[in-house]
Amino acid sequence: MHFSLGIDAGGTYTDAVIVRDSDGVVVESSKALTTYPDPLPGMKNAIDRLNPDYLGDIKLVSVSTTLSTNTILESTGFPVGLIMVGDYVIPEKLPTDYWVAVSGGHNSDGEELKDLDLDSVKEFALKVQDKVSAFAVSSYFSNRNPEHELAVKKTVKELTKHPVVCGHELSQDLGAYERAITAFLNAQLIPITHKFIQSIIKEFESRGISANMLMLKCDGSVVGIEEALEKPIETIFSGPAASLVGASHLSRLDTCAVIDVGGTSTDVAMMQNGLPQLSSSGAVVGGWQTRVKAIRMETSATGGDSHVWLKGDRINVGPRRVIPLCRASAIYPEFREKLKHNRVAKGYLCENIQVTKFFVRTGFRPIELKAGEREIYRYIGKEPVSFGDLLIALKKRPSPSILDSLIQKRLIQAIGFTPTDALHVLGEYTEWDVEAARIGAYILGRPLKLNPEAFSAEVKRRVARNIAEDLIAYLIEGMPRGEIDRVLKGKNFTRFRVEIPVVLLGGPVGAYVENLRRLISAEFIVPEHADVGNAVGALVGKGIKRVEILIKTRLVPKSREETPEGEEHCIAPESEVIEGALQQEKKNEFIVFSPSERKKFEVYSEALEYAEKLGRQLVMNYMISAGLEKEDIRIDVSRKHLAPSGWTDVPLETKLVYVGVGVPRNSMTA
């Protein structure tokens, strides 16, 4: 009998599941705390807790990890040299100090605007080769003609032996700058991803696991290990994608909204007809707009480990994440007594000055600490200390902003009351120390004249309302949060109704179902194994390949058959060039733009026939190389035509989108 192993390294927990291939049943699952910054030890711990009898029969391993996302968010990627080709405006904000802009590029028809300045490329590459680990290149309209990007790639690789990533290899969407950012982020992830994947492979080999290995992408599809090494940028946000796919599988629903309540955040997304709903603009990560196809999701900083704190008589939930009191008590034996007798002068002034808040060192080594940071850091050790402890040790008031800085640098970690503690007090989740949670609820509830149960119930209601608000904000794009909150509070005698099932994932997420039902009229479902749904999602992601092909009718000007005036030295964004390119027709030429090539035709029907055949072939070739059987692959095609009102001739543009869907070999059956 054969089995598959799914692993998801999330923000708080790393989940692992073993699934029987014959019927897709989860036969074993485990959880371990995620290890940071290297997720591998946490993954090992999760695997160690599985029944070893199954491991020898594992034939497929699929992994979802926060590694790529965290690397970008924390700016810890490897240094990259960025080469931009074409006369377009360079924004002030660039992700690297090592960049150059050189002449070259193409117009919207894929015709060369200027000769490529390879001499400047060579000069730059030799100048920075010892300062960077990889290069990224983006050329103006490379999605219409990639020859300049490919020429730069060939030259730089020969000179430096470094990896080179091209923008057109990652996206065929408009936006030379956004493709440049996408290529840059991908390039800086390659060394980190390579090390991580090689470590996983060695770990499985040491356990005698010989299996096909996949990774989950941020669009909810799976990719073979070789492509994951080449395009690690596509694994950002694979955690939310895993929860979405896992929820659909566990609930057996092809269309549903999904709410994943994790330790750090709540993510809302949607499956429609068996496929994840995707963002039209590409993923935004660390403030950078990319052209990576990712699921559309609504994320908020409300999770099981969100800090619950007081300011005056107001209860605040998040946005910071802390170690729950109940878990801290299980880790530090003396903590409960310390919490019971803790005091803070001057009441609850801000998030870092709370009777229930403590600080403890992490395993990170400090680098370049400022004087104020060093002064506070020396008094925070391996046992939790409170704000009051620091006040006594320093003989002065510790700066809350410096404590924030140490937290952001991950040198210290905060401990505090959380929604997880509230559920412990209410008896709805009792994994850790209930008494420590109860002490925290007593301390925080006292100034509000609420007993521990009443205070915890109020925290639970706040969390449920935040979750409900995220769901409605996702389903009704553009609706102001204030208006959503007004309806959820029951004003104006109105109530939201959701017409599709809503699947909930997360450890104790079932505790919030009744609260959610009071707020929104919907069918809320908590499937079996909801606590490890992400790991299931990492495993059941389908093989999905999207290919876009554009047929453009080139409208040649009356006076000459060359690029229209004004495009030779265009500095506008590519999308603006497209919008301004409608010229009076004199002679038609049909250009097919695809990820593989650019080809011209004199007859529209011939161009369409060629595009139809090429699109299917590109999808099929990819899917088969990823380990899919031809008979298990379904290819859907959508066509969109652009023509002015009253236009009777062939379309100005025809966009063909091919979506191939299949199930990887040795993967789970539905």
> For 59-73, b where at least 16 C-beta lie within 10 A, e where not — what string?
bbbbbbbbbbbbbbe
How does residue 366 score in pLDDT terms, banded at 50, 70 and 90?
A: confident
User: Where do we find the tokens 């019927």?
Assistant: 23
pLDDT reading at 566 higher than 50: no
Distance between the two ends of the chain, CA-based, in angstroms?
A: 17
pLDDT digits (tens, 9 = 90+) for 415-468: 999 999 999 999 999 989 999 999 999 999 999 999 999 999 999 999 999 999
Strands lying side by side in the sheet with 222-224: 26-33, 13-20, 3-9, 58-65, 212-216, 222-224
Among 247, 284, 286, 253, which residue's Cα sits nearest to residue 269? 247
Q: Which residue matches tokens 């908020």? A: 300
Confidence class for position 77, pLDDT limits 50, 70, 90: confident
What is the pTM assigned to this prediction?
Answer: 0.73
- Per-residue pLDDT, averaged over 6-15, amounts to 84
Decide which of 557 and 84 is more confident.
84
Q: Beta strand pairing status for 284-285 and 314-321?
A: unpaired
506: left (phi over 0), alpha (psi -120 to 50) or beta: left
Beta carbons within 10 angstroms of residue 613's beta carbon: 10
Which region among 15-29, 66-80, 316-330 has the lowest average model confidence (pLDDT)?
66-80
- By C-alpha distance, which of 664, 668, 669 is closest to 213? 664
pLDDT of 585: 42
How large a percentage of the chain has pLDDT more than 70?
A: 91
203 to each of 29, 38, 41, 198, how far by Cα in Å?
A: 19, 14, 10, 9
Residues paired with residue 257 on neighbouring β-strands, in sequence order? 270, 502
Question: Measured between alpha carbons, how far is 69 from 285 in angstroms, rounded to an integer?
Answer: 7
* Listed range (67-71, 252-256, 342-346, 608-612) with the worst mean pLDDT: 342-346
Quote the tokens at residue 269. Answer: 């997304």
Query: pLDDT tens digits, residue range 107-148?
Result: 888 888 899 999 999 999 999 999 999 999 999 988 888 999
Mean pLDDT of the chain: 84
Q: What is the pLDDT of residues 577-615, one digit of tens each?
A: 554 544 444 568 899 988 878 899 989 999 999 999 999
Is the pLDDT score of 229 beyond 50?
yes
Angle of the 452-475 helix axis to the 434-445 helix axis, nearest 10: 90
Asked if pLDDT for residue 236 goes beyond 90, the answer is no
pLDDT of residue 562: 44
Q: How far is it, in rounded angstroms, from Cα 232 to Cα 461?
A: 39
pLDDT at 524 over 60: yes
Model pLDDT, residue 564: 38
Calculate mean pLDDT across residues 326-332.
Answer: 94
Q: Give the pLDDT mean for 299-328.
A: 88
